[in-house]
Amino acid sequence: MTLLAVKPDLPQPDIGSLLEALADHDTVELDCTTSPTRISTIEVRSRHDLEERLAELFPFRPHMTPVTDEDRVGVEIVLVDGPPLRGDGDNMAQAIADLLANALHYIERWETKLRFDQAHQRYWGWVYRLMICGDNDHIKATLLGEQS
């Protein structure tokens, strides 16, 4: 059985429904036509398969830049690809902590509201990657492109 989980121009499904289908050993076909990938669909057969495909197709590419606020000295981390996430602070540790806090806030908003917003629907792959992480340390490692 194939479940079409992501449809162009429609609200994205919640991650729980997707993971339940995979747990039931259903093949899930994800429609990527409105995502910034160069493919139209992907098929996944397990959670591990989903994690690998999302990591391949929706990488996080953090970029460090100086904070432009004249009252601060520090760094800002922005994502070159993916959702509009950034973090800033007086040092790298603070910038990373702020990035993580902003990512957690975005995930929550995306899950409850932004997945219905066409401007944010295209970020589903990156959001799903973060939502299937086990904890905040795993989310932070994923955002920074590190092995967890």
Closest CA to 88 of 61, 68, 59, 60: 68
Closest CA to 6 of 114, 125, 113, 130: 125
Can you give the pTM of this predicted structure?
A: 0.82
Give counts: helices (H), strands (E), the chain: 6, 6
Q: How confident is the model at residue 1 (pLDDT cuts 50, 70, 90)?
A: very low
- CA-based R_g, the chain, Å: 16
Share of the chain above pLDDT 70, in %: 82
Structure tokens at 120: 């944010």
Structure tokens at 28: 């899930």
Number of residues assigned to the chain: 148
The distance between the two most distant Cα atoms of the chain, rounded to a whole number of Å, is: 58
